[in-house]
Structure 1
Amino acid sequence: MTERRATCHCGAVELRVTLSAPLESAARCDCSFCRRRAAPNVSARRENVHVVRGAETLTRYGFGTDTAQHYFCRICGIYMYHVRRSDPSECGVNLGTLEGVNPAEYEPMRWNDGVNHPSDR
């Protein structure tokens, strides 16, 4: 497991994240929300996502069943991470927020089928 620092664009939010999967496993989702957001994410256990700075600046967005909880910086709007609806003990962390990581290096990227998600049945 690799510990990483993640920051939003304006620097108001900083996370310390221990990833549970390699960067090469990053994926995109095609659900109605993620398709519009277009940010690839990589997995981390929920207990391994720590807000170092800016907890009061994070804002949450949920839709549908509200199981997936998406967290953004309320100042610059950057999506930081979300709690997965398929497994609420897991988070997807925005690959682009991880310090020293260029998401373009991981293309082509796998797509997850969020349109036909089992949690929506």
Structure 2
Amino acid sequence: MLYQGSCHCGRVRYEVEGDLQQAIECNCSHCSRKGYLLWFVPRENLRFHEGEDQLSTYLFNKHVIRHQFCPNCGCAPLGQGTDPAGKPKAAVNVRCLEGVDLAALQRIPYDGRSK
């Protein structure tokens, strides 16, 4: 399925393709404060319509995921990094996708606080 996503102000718009049935709910200090629900997909499944060049990046801890956010509205729609095998991945914040029933998603807890 194809999903449309954006930051709050709409300067960053993208689409992501995949089978969205579950999302990772990480308890690390960053994800818990932001309220992220993350859907990890191959990077090639993410296509920007506009604003990719406007994203700001926040790195912390081991600098594994480039948490990206719109500098205008502060919304954090996604992150980018690589999986353990070195393949490019996108960590999409499903709260920024249109038409997703968050209550229907299986939430997978991840203990990022202890990592």
Question: What interval of TM-score do these two structures reach, taking the shorter chain for normalisation?
Answer: 0.7 to 0.9
Superposed, 1:1-121 pairs within 5 Å as 2-19=1-18, 22-84=19-81, 86-87=83-84, 89-106=88-105, 109-117=107-115
Report the TM-score when normalising by structure 1.
Answer: 0.80
Indicate if the aligned counterparts of 1:15 and 1:49 stay in contact, CA closer than 8 A.
yes
**Structure 1: runs of 5+ lacking an equivalent:** none
- The one-letter code sitting in structure 2 at the alignment partner of 1:51 is F
4+ runs deviating over 4 angstroms: none
Cα deviation code 1:45-98 (max 9, x no counterpart)? 112212210123211111122121101111111111112565462221011111
**Cα shift at 1:103:** 2.1
Contact 1:96 1:102 in 2 (8 A): no
TM (norm. structure 2) is 0.84
Instruction: With a CA cutoff of 8 Å and minimum separation of 6, indicate the structure with the bigger relative contact order.
Output: 2
Distance 1:85 1:37, change over 3 A: farther
Contact 1:42 1:94 in 2 (8 A): yes
CA RMSD of aligned residues (A): 1.9
- Contact 1:72-1:79 at 8 Å conserved across structures: yes
Go from structure 1 to structure 2 and tell me whether the alpha carbon gap of 1:6 and 1:69 turns closer, same or farther (over 3 Å shift).
same
Q: Any unmatched runs of 5+ in structure 2?
A: none
